[in-house]
Amino acid sequence: MSRFWKIALIVVAVLVVGAVGLRLMHKPGAEGRSQAGAPAGKPGGPGEGKNEPVPVTVEPVTVQNVPVYLTALGTVQALNTVTVSPQVGGLLMKLNFTEGQEVHKGEVLAEIDPRSLKATYDQAVARKGQDAALLATARSNLARSQDLARQGYISKQDMDTLRNTVLQYEAAVAADEASINDAKVQLGYTKVIAPITGLAGIRGVDPGNIVTASSSIVTLTEVHPINVIFPLPEQNVELVRSAQARGEPLEVAALDSAGSKVIAGQGVLKVINNQIDTSTGTFNLKAQFPNDENALFPGQFVNVRLKVNTVQGGLVIPSQAVQRGPDGDYVYLLQPDSTVKMQPVTTGQEVGDTHVMVTQGLKAGEQVVTEGQFRLKPGSKVKALKPGEVPAAPTEEELKKAAQGAKGGRGGRRG
């Protein structure tokens, strides 16, 4: 192919491409697409629209008396724990208690064979009778001799001997009386008596065994009332002592392991220990509970809540209103123009499981946002709703306006 024809073909191709491009540039709708690509926020762009208020739940700052508590982990301790052992040895004949059941003070827990001690008692009684007869004889002899002594028939030395014989038998009778009492006491020990009212543990011996004074029959634990021992940090010493110095009993409650449910109330603080443990930096306290419903058991771990004060007129808000930021706690505070403000706050004592006391940053009656904070920023326009309230459904007129606005927006984009 000659060079002339090559140049001609190139020129024709250039003309065809130029014609196609010119055709596309003048195609209807291109101007609309150009407007659709306009930056947002300019007329005809998608950024044009209204700033709709954000629906949020608000609650007021309330005023109430707020109790101040100190909390700790405590251990339940029996009021008294007694290991019951026999005071005399012998054959264990009978046990009169049921393991795990409550026994009362004065009840017979066990019986030991009393026959040998009964024989000792009978011997003491017989010996007293013998010495009493001798004493009677000696007294009669002394009485008869006194008349003869006045007549000079009996010497003074014989009279002294008769008087000493009476004194000797009187002492023997007194010794016999003491022996009888001792034998009676020993015989009484053959019945093992409960020294306190408490729960019986697992028995240490079985009937038929030979027991001694070192044998353990059963352990009794007194649980009505019952104690709880718990530690507090040493920086709370003055607070607790000052509260106790006011003269009113300090209330104590025992809560479950989660710390959410009171399992025993009506407790009172009884003792503040007289020293601080230098190894832990804590001091121990003892509280006492009636435990009428047996909610507390010796050795049990419980969460302890000690009331040390009551703040009069404290400001309280729901706990969920408090947000945590890099500069501390804050809340979204509702403004008169239906916008919100990020308000720093200082929180204090928790009030139950749902509220918290605010010590700085708020005033009584102000409204704080409790739900919907994740959609907010300072200055956001909001629609305040009460707890449990939902936004009202749009009216028919509002739906029409919204549809017309959407239709106008699509026309602008299409050009």
- Same-domain check for residues 182 and 229: no
Angle made by CA atoms 313, 319, 321, in degrees to the nearest 5: 105
| Residue 285 is assigned to a structural domain of this protein | yes
Q: Which of 310, 327, 344 corresponds to the end of one domain?
A: 310
- Same-domain check for residues 63 and 74: no
| Residue 6 is assigned to a structural domain of this protein | no
- Same-domain check for residues 127 and 207: yes
Find the mean pLDDT for residues 294-315: 91
Structural domain of residue 363, as residue ranges?
55-67+313-385
Q: Which amino acid is at 163?
A: R
Residues 355-385: b if buried by 16+ CB within 10 A, e if exposed: bbbbeebbeeebbbbbebbeebeeebebebb
Instruction: Reply yes or no on whether the pLDDT at 356 is more than 70.
Output: yes
- Same-domain check for residues 295 and 327: no
CA distances to 133, 188, 214 from 185, rounded to whole Å, are: 25, 5, 19
CA count, 13 A, side-chain hemisphere, 336: 0
pLDDT: is 36 or 2 the higher one?
Answer: 2
Question: Tell me: the pLDDT tens digits for 1-30?
Answer: 556 666 767 767 777 667 766 666 655 444
- Same-domain check for residues 205 and 251: no
Taking the C-alpha atoms of residue 152 and residue 164, their distance in angstroms, rounded to an integer, is 20
| Residue 398 is assigned to a structural domain of this protein | no
CA distances to 53, 64, 266, 398 from 404, rounded to whole Å, are: 20, 52, 68, 10
Instruction: Reply yes or no on whether the pLDDT at 364 is more than 70.
Output: yes
Q: Which of 41, 282, 80, 109 is nearest to 196 (CA)?
A: 80
Would you say the pTM of this structure is higher than 0.85? no
- Same-domain check for residues 247 and 339: no
* The pLDDT of residue 405: 56
* 321 within 8 A of 368, measured Cβ to Cβ: yes
Question: Tell me: the pLDDT tens digits for 177-189?
Answer: 999 999 999 999 9
Number of domains in the chain: 3
Q: Which of 272, 274, 267, 266 is nearest to 244 (CA)?
A: 272
- Same-domain check for residues 327 and 290: no
Q: Which of 285, 248, 251 is nearest to 268 (CA)?
A: 251
- Same-domain check for residues 102 and 178: yes
Q: How many helices (H) and strands (E) does the chain have?
A: 6, 20
Q: Which of 78, 79, 84, 87 is nearest to 96 (CA)?
A: 84
- Same-domain check for residues 132 and 234: no
- Same-domain check for residues 63 and 181: no
Q: Is the peptide bond before 225 cis (omega within 30 degrees of 0)?
A: yes
- Same-domain check for residues 238 and 350: no
Q: What is the CATH number of the domain that holds 365?
A: 2.40.420.20
Q: Which of 310, 330, 363 corresponds to the end of one domain?
A: 310
Taking the C-alpha atoms of residue 68 and residue 63, their distance in angstroms, rounded to an integer, is 15
| Residue 35 is assigned to a structural domain of this protein | no
Q: Which amino acid is at 67?
A: P
Q: What is the CATH number of the domain that holds 280?
A: 2.40.30.170
- Same-domain check for residues 293 and 354: no
**DSSP per residue over 7-59, as a string?**
HHHHHHHHHHHHHHHHHHHT-TTHHHHHHHTSPTTSTTSTT-S--PPEEEEEE
- Tokens 């890099």, residue located: 326
| Residue 29 is assigned to a structural domain of this protein | no
| Residue 112 is assigned to a structural domain of this protein | yes
CA count, 13 A, side-chain hemisphere, 369: 29
**Which of the residue ranges 20-24, 28-32, 288-292, 311-315 would you say has the lowest mean pLDDT?**
28-32
| Residue 395 is assigned to a structural domain of this protein | no
| Residue 276 is assigned to a structural domain of this protein | yes
* The pLDDT of residue 34: 41
